[in-house]
Amino acid sequence: MAVLRAAGMPERLRDFVSGSPTPLDGRGFVYVLSTREAPEMLKIGYTDRDPLTRAKEINSATGVIIPWGVRGAWTVAQARRVEAEVHALLADYRVRSDREFFHMPFAEAARIIEQYATAARG
């Protein structure tokens, strides 16, 4: 199952069933979520759909008692790759190595993501 997850199969299956396939160039969004109660605890991820839809999915999960809100989103090609590279750039702020949570000011995360996204676009 881990191999299927790493290959993005759950997302691809969900996209197929919902009728919204991933663009061929991997275009999507790198997004930053946070809560009002913990504004420096950031969830940085990617989606090939609308970031607000992704936030609603996360908030509907069992155990989420404080809703996450979208603080920023950047449109990029190869969103999965860009997300992984941004995570590597922010490794010093990562809360756990197996999760996409970072403890840092939003402005700093946004600056780094914007610089990387701009460089990746050429």
Per-residue pLDDT tens over the stretch 23-61: 556 789 999 999 999 999 999 999 999 999 999 999 999
Q: Find residue 64's DSSP bridge partners.
A: none
Distance between CA atoms of residues 93 and 109, nearest Å: 10
Q: Is residue 6 part of a domain?
A: no
The dihedral through the CA atoms of 3, 80, 68, 60 has a sign that is: negative
Distance between CA atoms of residues 19 and 98, nearest Å: 30
Q: Is residue 16 part of a domain?
A: no
Q: Is residue 14 part of a domain?
A: no
pTM attached to this predicted model: 0.78
Residue 17 has a pLDDT of: 62
Distance between CA atoms of residues 45 and 99, nearest Å: 10
What is the number of domains present in the chain? 1
Residue 117 has a pLDDT of: 85
pLDDT at residue 22 tops 70: no
For 25, residues 6+ apart whose C-beta sits below 8 A from its C-beta are 77, 78
The alpha carbon of 33 is separated from its chain's Cα centroid by a whole number of angstroms, namely 8
Domain range for residue 57?
25-121
